[in-house]
Amino acid sequence: MAKNDVQSWSNTPASNTDIAGIDIAENCPPAGINDAIRTIMAQIASFVANAVFGAVSVVVSGLGRIILSSGSSTLSGYIGFQDAAGNPLGYIGQISNGGPIPYVSQNGGGHQFSGGPGSFTGNLGVGGALNVTGNISTSGQIGASSAVIGGSLSAVFAGFGSMSATGTINAGGALTGASLGVSGAVTGASATIAGQVTGQTLAVAANAYLTMIGGNPALVFDVGDYLTYDRATNKLFLYIGGNAVWSCDGVGSTRQLGVAFQSQPTV
C-alpha cells in the first residue's frame, strides 16, 4: 500500500518501502531518492498544516488515549476518549449541520462539570436527574424529570415563564422564579414565588399542606382537619376530626354542628 500521507506511515521501519509509490526499499534506484525526500517533506508539511488529516490517536502508555477524527460532508470531526485497552469512554463532536454540540458518555458514567460556575444562556433540557451542589442561575428555561439543588435556584425564564419538572424539586436554599409548574412535590428551605405556583401539593410541614381534592382547593392542618371550598355548591366547609362542623355559602348563611358558645366578659 502506497504511503501517501503521514498517517499511512508504519512504526515498523521495514514496512516503509515507498513514499507515495516511490521505491525506497533495499537496493532501490538511486535516482528516486531525491524525489522521495521531497515527497516526505511535502507530506509532513501537509500534516502540520492540517491539509490532509484523518483520525489521529494520541496515546499515553497505560493511561488511555485521545482520538482526533475528521468529519464528513454532514458531520464534523470529534474528540474521542478511550481507556488503556482502547474501549470508548465518550466523545465531544460529530455535529450535524446546524445542530447542537454533543457531549456523549459511552461508559454509563454520566457527565460532570466542576471547578467553576456553568453558564447557559439558552435552554437546559435534562432527560434524567439534575444534581447541582451549588446554585443555578439561568435566563432561559430548565426542564428536568427531577432536580436536586444544594444551593439556590434563581431563574428569570425570559420568554418562557415557567419551570417544568415531572419529578421532585429539592432546593436546600431559596427557590425563586416567575412561575413554577410541577406535577410532583416542591420542597425547599425557603420559597419566594413572584408569579404562579401550580402542583398537586404544596407542603408546609409533614401534616400541613395546600392541596386539591377532586378539583376543590383544601388547606389541610392535620389528618381529618381541613378547610375546603366546594366549587359545585359555592360553599366553604370546615372539617375537624373528619366531620363537617361548619359551612358558609355565597350569601353568608352558615351552618354549624353542635352548640355555639359566646364568651362572656369577666366581671
Q: Using the 3D structure, point to which of 151, 166, 199 is the last residue of a domain.
A: 199
Q: Which of the pair, 35 or 208, is modelled with greater confidence?
A: 35
pLDDT of residue 161: 47
Are 227 and 184 in the same domain? no
191 and 235 both lie in a single domain: no
Q: How far apart are CA 183 and CA 28, in angstroms?
A: 78
Q: Which of 154, 178, 199 is the last residue of a domain?
A: 199
Place of cell 534506484: 29
Q: For residue 217, what are the domain limits?
A: 209-256
- Considering the domain architecture, whether residues 191 and 218 belong to the same structural domain is answered as no
Residue 37: inside a domain:
yes
Asked whether residue 157 is assigned to any structural domain, the reply reads: yes
pLDDT at 255 over 70: yes
Answer yes or no: do 133 and 191 share one domain: yes
Whether residues 250 and 191 share a domain: the answer is no
Say what the pLDDT of residue 158 is.
40
Burial of 204 (0-12, 13-18, 19+ CB in 10 A): exposed
User: What pLDDT, on the 0 to 100 scale, is given for residue 229?
Assistant: 94
Whether 131 maps to a domain, the answer reads yes
Domain boundary residue, one of 153, 171, 199: 199
169, part of any domain:
yes
- Asked if the model's pLDDT at residue 18 lies above 80, the reply is yes
For residue 37, pLDDT beyond 90: yes
pLDDT tens track for 107-164: 887 777 777 766 666 677 777 777 777 767 766 667 766 676 677 666 654 434 456 6
Number of domains in the chain: 3
Distance, CA of 249 to CA of 47 (rounded, Å): 86
Q: Are 123 and 177 found together in one domain? A: yes
Question: pLDDT for 181-208, tens place per residue?
Answer: 666 666 666 666 666 666 667 776 667 8
Q: Is the pLDDT of residue 267 over 60?
A: no
Q: Is the pLDDT of residue 226 over 70?
A: yes
261 lies in some domain: no
List, in sequence order, every beta strand (DSSP E) within 85-168: 88-93, 103-105, 124-132, 136-138, 142-149, 153-155, 164-165
pTM, two decimal places: 0.41
Residues 195 and 231 reside in one and the same domain: no
pLDDT value, residue 192: 65
Residue 242 has pLDDT above 70, yes or no: yes
At 72-98, the pLDDT tens digits run: 788 888 888 888 888 888 989 888 887
Q: Is residue 105 part of a domain?
A: no
Residue 78 lies in a domain: no
pLDDT the model gives residue 17: 92
Helix (H, G, I), strand (E, B), or coil: what is residue 35? Answer: helix
More confident residue, 252 or 115: 252
Do 238 and 163 reside in the same domain of the chain?
Answer: no
Q: Are residues 249 and 184 in the same domain?
A: no
pLDDT of residue 157: 46
Q: Secondary structure of the chain: what % helix, strand, coil (to 5)?
A: 10, 45, 45
179 and 139 share one domain: yes
Tell me: do 216 and 195 sit in the same domain: no
Residue 86 lies in a domain: no
Name the band, by pLDDT with cuts 50, 70 and 90, for residue 62.
Answer: low
Greatest mean pLDDT among 103-107, 151-155, 174-178 lies in: 103-107
* Residue 216, beta-bridge partner list: 213
pLDDT mean across residues, the chain: 77
Higher-confidence position of 210 and 251: 251
pLDDT tens readout for residues 210-224: 887 778 889 989 888
One domain for residues 141 and 194: yes
